[in-house]
Structure 1
Amino acid sequence: MRLFDFAGVTALLVAGAIAQVPQLPRPRNCNGVGNFRFQYTTSNGWTAFKIAGNLRQVRTIVFDTKGNMLVAEASRGISVHTFGTDGCINGTSMLISASQLNHGLALTPDGRTFNQKTVVRGMSTGIHFTRTIAVVPQQPNLILLQVGSNSNFDMDSARPSTGRAIIKIFDTSRAPSNGWNYNTDGEVYGYGLRNTIGFVPDPNGHFWGVENSGDDFYRTENGQRRDIHNDNPAEELNYLGDPLTVRNAWYGYPTCFAVWEPSNFPGTSLKTGSNFVVSPNGTYNDATCDSQGAIPPRLSFQAHSAPIWNAFDAEAKNMYVAFHGSWNRQPATGYKVVEIPFQKNVNGNYEPVAPADSKTGYRDIFSAPNPSGCTTFGLTNSNCFRLTAVAWDPAGRGLFVGSDNSNEGEIYILYPPA
């Protein structure tokens, strides 16, 4: 297997030929794997098991078509892990060493391409430097590639031509020899997405993204400035739609944001999930977001939870989201994995069971026992785990979850209730 290199930060690998993944038992004890580095608690009948440790900043986990686990380890590269009949890891090797790799990893379904080339170049850099990639299931020559904003309020990103706060679509089969230019080539799938680190397809191939929203918010009305940052804006679950048909969808950033706590907006009819602006006036106010077509989230999360990756279970009855954890809220929040019940509607589309204005549309299944006591020192150093990758195991064991805490990169399996 070889690497598609995206400006040195994102990897697209190719899997082997399609094969049936054998079912494996849930391991209860694996030699050489230490105890959990940090304390945890589970709920709703879930149990947790540490399957791997001593990794470096686990960011993404994917499984190939034979059930091997590939892990993107930030600043190290991509490691591959095979499993024995006892369900434990029985072999680990570095597939690709890449000191500048930071996040993205995806597999194509055909297993026929074995080369390395630049496909996309010229991506912006800034405070949000992760680069998430996804293959379009319905048309695997197409890839989705994300770039976040370069500041808290990146006002220039309102123009898609800046190539920030955006997800674009590129055709890898038609890439020129020196690669597509991110800003000027490709097509705009969605923009106004401040930092959509995770996005995954449902069984129809329609994508759902989890959005990290802004920090340190104040609302200015009639000359009065109020601090609303502790509980607003909401983090978001956005329905991004069918990448074969959706183009130029706008999700509001950098001017429109989602409400989490409506009580911070007295005198308005805003609900959880409603669009708001930070400085409403006579010409641009909360209602302007809707009239100009800003797409609100399909579901909202507590402010500053930092959703970083999402995955469906095998039947898409639930989505799972890893929350990296907050730095801009007191008490702290996040540091957990949540389960979002989904349903298939009569029209064949999937969506959360909860309405868009719900605060209870998800439930904790795995978390730090006292998130309010978690402290974040920089991006990955904390006295709690920093949850990142989530991937449903094709061998039937449960949900694999990664932590990129710089003290120790770990991977856990969460076993669902029997």
Structure 2
Amino acid sequence: MITIYRSIAALTSAASSVGVLAQSTASTSACSTSITPSYAAPSVAAGYEARLIATNLTKPRSVLFDANGNLLVVQQGKGIVSLNLTDNGGACLSVGTSHDVILDSSDADQILHKLTHGIALSRDGRTLYASSPEAVFSWAYDPASSRNSSGPSVIVNNMNTSDHTTRTLLLPNRAPGMLVVTRGSTSNLDLETLDVSTGHSQVKAFNLTNTTATYNFDTDGLLMGWGLRNEVGVAEEPLTGGIWGVENSVDNLMRDGQDIHQNNPGEELNFLGYVNGTTSPEQGTNFGYPTCYAAWNVSAIPNNTGLQVGSQFAIGTPNATFNDTLCAERAAPRLTFQAHMAPLDILFNRNGTAAWVTFHGSWQAIRYRC
């Protein structure tokens, strides 16, 4: 589920629908046009209401409003669709018209692989970016017609992996012309990540104003951080321009021969530094994966002396090469969430005083909470 910052937030599910979450007025009124969901209504905090506004989509992953208020939706394996919304007040939105903007193609010269998740628009709203497991693409875009006016250009490539293929995109407002791209691990426990030159499990930034050729993710770009298993959500804190990410951590964790995966490790909120020239000790550093993780339930971790919630600890059987002392030198999360919550996105309010994080849970959480 992804949120878009407005008084009304647009939400996507991994199934086939898009909804909105809005701050409600003193009394909630029925919408004149609404879609009845086939599932139970979500539970929301007091002062909010949630409504379904679009169905029959193909695995909607990310959403973004263009300059004319059209809602662009990435449909995994299909492309990007534009939804023209009718605002009937409050959370009462409905789709007036819709049309495909980008359709995936089997032609390798057009789309190297299916679009999966990432989407971004330039500050002037006239360049559209989207990502596949292999590459980041751009198209000239006309917000008046909500259509692309060019074929795709490949901006970044050489990112393909067999797992964790989201490739989230961010165009920071405080660093115009820079594009942040995330790339997860190639498996649950990706030992290739130990070598920074592989490009696995990293977040990088690329200069869009000073490029003469396609960037190679492995060798090019500004390294924001590595040892990041799957930083699905990234966001810019609006006042300072700091870049933050939320991470899906490892499954099936063992420590000293004991299975501790039900309540460890914790999911992470990480500070990745800046792309606007401000320096930070975290930027470009190792965040621990695949050998070090953030503790959540400390009591369930064998030999836990000195550990607390958020402490980096070593998996497996600690030894002279990988141990808790070494892990303490890795960049620790700024905030640790309950294990297996699977954070998917992070969004700041306009003045940077609050942030929202969306979670979907995982097979681990479902299995042990039935």
TM-score (structure 1 length as normaliser): 0.68
The aligned counterpart of 1:191 is: 226
The letter for the 1-side match of 2:232 is I
Answering whether residue 222 of structure 2 is matched by residue 216 of structure 1, we say no
TM-superposed CA distance for 1:163, in Å, is 1.0
Structure-2 separation of matches of 1:170 and 1:283: 34
1:288 Cα deviation after fit? 1.3
Which of the numbers 259, 273, 276 marks the counterpart of 1:227? 259
- Within 5 Å, give how 1:290-309 maps onto structure 2: 290-291=328-329, 294-309=330-345
The equivalent residue for 2:319 is 281
Distance 2:208 2:29 in 1: 39
In structure 1, the partner of 2:86 is 84
Is the 1:199–1:209 Cα contact (8 Å) retained in structure 2? yes
Deviations 1:196-215 (A, max 9, x none): 01101111221111100001
Q: Which has the higher contact order (CA 8 A, sep 6+)?
A: 1
Which deviates further from its counterpart, 66-75 or 239-248?
A: 239-248
Q: Where does residue 405 of structure 1 map in the other structure?
A: none
Contact 2:34 2:52 in 1 (8 A): no
Query: Conserved in 1, the CA contact under 8 Å of 2:178 and 2:275?
Result: no
Contact 1:274–1:296 (8 Å) recurs in 2: yes
Corresponding residue number in structure 1 for 2:143: none
Q: Deviations over 1:300-320 (max 9, x none)?
A: 111111111121234433322
Distance in 2, Cα, partners of 1:283 & 1:138: 40
Residues 43/211 of structure 1: CA separation in 2 closer, same or farther (3 Å cut): same
Amino acid at match of 1:205: G
Q: Which residue of 2 aligns with 1:96?
A: 102
Instruction: Measure the CA separation in 1 of the matches of 2:320 and 2:235.
Output: 39
The change in CA–CA distance for 1:30 and 1:184 in structure 2 (over 3 A counts) is: farther
Alignment check: 8 A CA contact 2:175 2:275 kept: no
Query: Residue 40 in 1 paired to residue 42 in 2?
Result: yes
SS in 2 for 1:34: coil
Cα distance in 1 for partners of 2:58, 2:160 equals 25
Correspondence 1:169 to 2:183:
no
Q: Distance in 2 between matches of 1:85 and 1:327?
A: 37
**Structure 2 counterpart of 1:270, from 301, 304, 307:** 307
Q: Which moved more, 1:167-176 or 1:195-204?
A: 167-176
Q: 1:376 — aligned with what? A: none
Counterpart-to-counterpart distance in 1, 2:77 and 2:320? 48
The Cα shift of 1:30 comes to 5.5
* Partner Cα separation in structure 2 for residue 92 and residue 84 of structure 1: 12
RMSD: 2.3
Asked whether the equivalents of residues 297 and 309 of structure 2 are also in contact (C-alpha less than 8 Å), the reply is yes
Whole-angstrom distance in 2 between the partners of 1:127 and 1:63: 28
Gap change, CA 1:50 and 1:30, over 3 Å in 2 = farther
Conserved? CA contact 2:249–2:267, under 8 Å? yes
- In structure 1, give the amino acid aligned to 2:58: R
Deviation of the 1:128 alpha carbon: 1.1
Quick one: percent identity of the two aligned structures? Answer: 37
Looking at structure 1, the residues matched to 102 and 159 of structure 2 have their Cα atoms a distance apart, in angstroms, of 22
- In the alignment, which residue of structure 1 is the partner of 2:68? 66
Q: CA deviation at 1:106?
A: 0.9
Q: Which residue of 2 aligns with 1:395?
A: none
CA contact (8 A) 2:311 2:328 kept: no
Question: What SS does the corresponding residue of 1:238 show, helix, strand or coil?
Answer: strand
Question: Per-residue deviation at 1:135?
Answer: 1.0
Q: Match of 1:300, SS?
A: strand
Matched with 1:109 is: 123
Residue 123 of structure 1, CA deviation: 1.2
Q: Is the CA contact 1:28–1:49 (under 8 Å) kept in the aligned structure 2?
A: no
1:253/1:83 CA distance change after superposition, 3 Å: same
Question: How high is the TM-score relative to the length of structure 2?
Answer: 0.76
Structure 1 residue 176, shift from structure 2 partner: 3.0
Q: Which residue of 2 aligns with 1:53?
A: 55
Question: Which residue does the alignment assign to 2:135?
Answer: none
Alpha-carbon separation, structure 2, partners of 1:138 and 1:310: 17
Q: Counterpart of 1:297 in 2: which secondary structure?
A: coil
Please tell me whether residue 318 in structure 1 is matched to residue 354 in structure 2: yes
Moved more, 89-98 or 108-117: 108-117
> Would you say the 8 A contact 1:234–1:260 is kept in 2?
yes
Deviation at 1:27, TM superposition (A): 8.2
Q: Give the stretch that moved more between structures: 245-254 or 150-159.
A: 245-254
Contact 2:241 2:276 in 1 (8 A): no
What do the CA deviations read for 1:351-393 (whole angstroms, capped 9, x no partner)?
A: xxxxxxxxxxxxxxxxxxxxx34xxxxxxxxxxxxxxxxxxxx
Structure-2 change in CA distance of 1:155 and 1:303 (3 Å): same
On the 8 A contact 1:42/1:48 being kept in 2, the answer is yes
Q: In 2, Cα distance between the equivalents of 1:95 and 1:321?
A: 28
Counterpart AA for 1:110 = D
Q: Give, in whole Å, the separation in 1 of the partners of 2:38 and 2:163.
A: 30
SS for the counterpart of 1:241 is coil
* Residue identity matched to 2:312: N
**CA-CA distance at 1:331 after TM superposition:** 4.6
CA–CA distance in structure 1, aligned partners of residues 29 and 76 of structure 2: 27
**Partner SS for 1:196:** coil
